[in-house]
Chains A and B, each alone.
Chain A
């Protein structure tokens, strides 16, 4: 089986599976399922699941600093209902049955399967009643003066995540009706159309393994230790909102959250070939991080906090002094509430999907959880650094302006993640 044609006859099962999720093709999946002979995937108990669909942190790996290690393999299924009206009662029961079967098939764990379904503003528009006023779920929009993303307006998105490639692929295949069972449990296929299927991976080793993709230079610069293509750790515990913080507190959707999912194409030739390590640290974190030598290698030495808060007030002076500003530095200034709490819980993962083509192109799926979508919009706008382009012409719209030169937003969608009790086709005001 030639997954990537490197001719390594001793490829481990694990390597094959990793490649298979990234490729996502049916032949890769078949190859996977032929090779699932060792450790069983733990099965689940529907009554033992947390009330929040987004309760992942307790159920995944952490590094030595307590930073979350997101599940290695992830799939996003974008779902569309037939017709224009609200979903039928039959449809609702069918979806509930499918999701319950998934709960029986897999333990709620990185070794089993974490999943969550979320609904778009377009979905809620199917109903006559509006969402409660306290729910902040606007229509998605462009958020920078230089992007024209395609808006994802599908009704829903189902997010699957596991450290077990075989688990995530088998669940995916059963949900799409390509097989009857998942982990030995009968799973009825989703009662909706899968409009778009997007796959990805995250964690040390995987980006390096998948760097043979358009957008990454031929020099294979992605470090083996890096969890992401850009060569640094991200999502330090101290710079992430807690699950409690992003959870909607009251109303019918109490226990839920909102979710933005963007897809960004990455173009890393200049990032790796034109920039020194120091310049990359400046643009990813802040000039102060480079000046003070705070980041070694991929930044594991930062521990549980990127220390970015120390450098937020330096933005304007950094712009003038260094002619460069940092990505994290810009975003952080809008990503704290009045009490200093972080507002967004980012759960991004890498991909070689090029939505709309079969080409392997470096990209990033960027899910972010927050209580209100507006919080995400404010952070993203702060990341544009438009004010800093006025500070000095050395900071341009996309150049010397954090990492904007290297990322190109292609898609964006906004969703409401209901609490588990309302996860199957909720009305805007569920009882």
Chain B
């Protein structure tokens, strides 16, 4: 940790002292951010700590609802293709800003919009970045980045949502096609930030598992539908490096997709927390009596009923068919701690999932 980081953590330590003894969990930042756990498993694991978060505000703009939240600066792992690299907290970082975009009608969290934000203070530009899609255990999919600020005061954050280029179906087919911009004021004070919870864990750290998803009234959950709520006939599921892939088949493709036949959809969600896993390149192969009857892309698709999924039109699916789902590109989202080794991640490898159709 860099020097200034240590000094800041020292200040927080004094505050922690004043709150000591409330529980076995330390409620504010103790001796800085714990190190990345050693001997992490190759899969979803319980992180060393979890930062709480505080809502800055929500608004609606165009087809979108937007929420803006903040916390302490985070370390995270960036993913570009197969490369996964740690982004450390910079000494100038004041906050981790998190933005979430959802459909105000169905409360579906929208991945793949692209999001950039500008931060102003008294009309002066403080920062502007295209911020990265991220997956965290408590929040699931969101956009996030660390930012430096210029001390306590009133800031204006202007969020720009890009149009969704992901294939959209059903009631989503004609929506989310335009970009939109909204402003949310941000009253920042370091002392208010330091009241945000900072939980440090002990013996469960580095073991398979996940912290619970947080719940916030203002923010819809970024989770995938329960298997029992998925439309169509659920064919089965399998797990690939802790990405749980659930396959379902609809008798006809959802509105907006051309082609005759059945519609094969794979819904990907994190093990334990059922958070949507977006931004993968996936392919499916259907074998019947030793012959391949479908072999092709499962396209990233956003549907109000299926949620975000990977889908393709196939002629039909029969009992006895063998479906093989392959991940060609791991989820192109940055990872918060506990997800950086899973779904490909630092160690790579998302094995095929094979499902025999009953």
A residues apposed to B, CB below 8 Å: 142, 145-148, 214-215, 265, 267, 270, 322-324, 354, 357, 359, 361, 386, 389-390, 392-394, 396-400, 404-405, 408
A393 and B163 contacting across the interface, CB-CB below 8 Å = no
In the complex, chain B residues whose CB is within 8 Å of the CB of A267? 128-129
A395–chain B nearest beta-carbon distance, Å: 9
Asked if B130 and A399 sit within 8 Å, CB to CB, the answer is yes
CA distance A307 to B163 in the complex (A): 33
Which residues of B come within 8 Å of A, CB atoms? 80-83, 112-114, 116, 123-125, 128-130, 132-133, 160, 162-163, 165, 177-181, 278-281, 299-300, 329, 331-332
Known: A394-B81, A400-B81; 15 extra A-B contacts, CB below 8 A, are A146-B116, A146-B162, A148-B180, A359-B125, A386-B165, A393-B280, A393-B281, A393-B329, A394-B329, A394-B332, A397-B114, A397-B130, A399-B130, A399-B132, A404-B130
Cβ–Cβ < 8 Å partners of B160 in chain A: 146, 148
Determine the distance from Cα of A142 to Cα of B329 in the docked complex, in whole angstroms.
31
* Residues from chain B with Cβ under 8 Å of A354 in the complex: 125
Q: How far is the CB of B150 from chain A (nearest CB, A)?
A: 12
- Give Cα A215 to B181, complex, Å: 21
Please, how many angstroms separate the alpha-carbon atoms of A295 and B162 in the complex? 32
Smallest CB gap from A323: residue in B: B81
For B122, the closest partner residue in chain A by CB is: A357
Asked if B332 contacts A393 (CB within 8 A), the reply is: yes
Residues in A neighbouring B280, C-beta threshold 8 A: 393
Residue of A nearest to B333 (CB): A393
Residue of A nearest to B178 (CB): A145
- Please give me the residue from chain A that is nearest to B132 by CB atom: A399
Closest to B164 in A: A145
Q: Is the CB of B300 within 8 A of A145?
A: no
Residues of the B chain whose Cβ atoms lie less than 8 Å from the Cβ of A393 = 278-281, 300, 329, 331-332
Q: Is the CB of B116 within 8 A of A398?
A: yes
A-side binding surface: helix, strand, loop or mixed? loop
A397 to B133, CA, bound (A): 11
Whether B163 pairs with A145 at a CB distance below 8 angstroms is yes
The residue on B at minimum CB distance from A408 is B128
B81 and A397 form a contact (CB under 8 A): no
11 contacts between A and B (CB under 8 A): A145-B177, A145-B179, A324-B80, A394-B329, A396-B133, A397-B112, A397-B113, A397-B114, A398-B114, A399-B130, A400-B81
* Chain A residue contacts of B162, Cβ below 8 A: 145-146, 397-398
User: What 4 A-B pairs are tightest by C-beta distance, nearest first?
Assistant: A323-B81, A397-B114, A146-B162, A145-B163
List of B residues within 8 angstroms of A323 by Cβ: 80-83, 329
Among the listed B80, B82, B123, B165, which residue makes an inter-chain contact with A397, where contact means beta carbons less than 8 Å apart?
B165
Q: Are A398 and B80 neighbours in the complex by a CB distance under 8 Å?
A: no
Which residues of chain B come closer than 8 Å to A145, judged between CB atoms? 114, 162-163, 165, 177-179
Which residue on chain B has the smallest CB distance to residue A279?
Answer: B80
On whether the beta carbons of B165 and A389 are closer than 8 Å, the reply is: yes
* Cβ distance B307 to chain A, nearest Cβ, rounded Å: 17
- CB–CB A396/B332 < 8 A: yes
CA distance A404 to B116 in the complex (A): 11
Q: Which residue of B lies closest to A361 (CB)?
A: B125
- In the complex with contacts A146-B179, A405-B130, A396-B329 CB distance below 8 A: no
A394–B130 Cα distance when bound, in Å, is 15
Residues of B within 8 Å of A404, CB to CB, are 130
Task: Check if B179 sits within 8 Å of A400, measured CB to CB.
Answer: no
**B281/A392 in contact, CB under 8 A:** yes
**Contact status A359-B179, CB under 8 Å:** no
Give min CB distance, A64 to chain B, whole Å.
Answer: 37
Compute how far the CA of A76 lies from the CA of B113 in the bound complex, rounded to whole angstroms: 35
* A399 nearest CB neighbor, chain B only: B130
Alpha-carbon separation in the docked complex, A148 to B179 (Å): 7
For residue A270, which residues in chain B have a CB less than 8 angstroms away from its CB? 129
Set of chain A residues within 8 Å of B181, measured between Cβ atoms: 148
Task: Report the separation of the CA atoms of residues A396 and B177 in the bound assembly, to the nearest whole angstrom.
Answer: 16
Whose C-beta in chain B lies nearest to the C-beta of A394?
B81
CB nearest neighbor in A for B81:
A323
Q: In the docked arrangement, what's the CA distance between A361 and B128, Å?
A: 11
Which residues of chain A come closer than 8 Å to B331, judged between CB atoms? 393
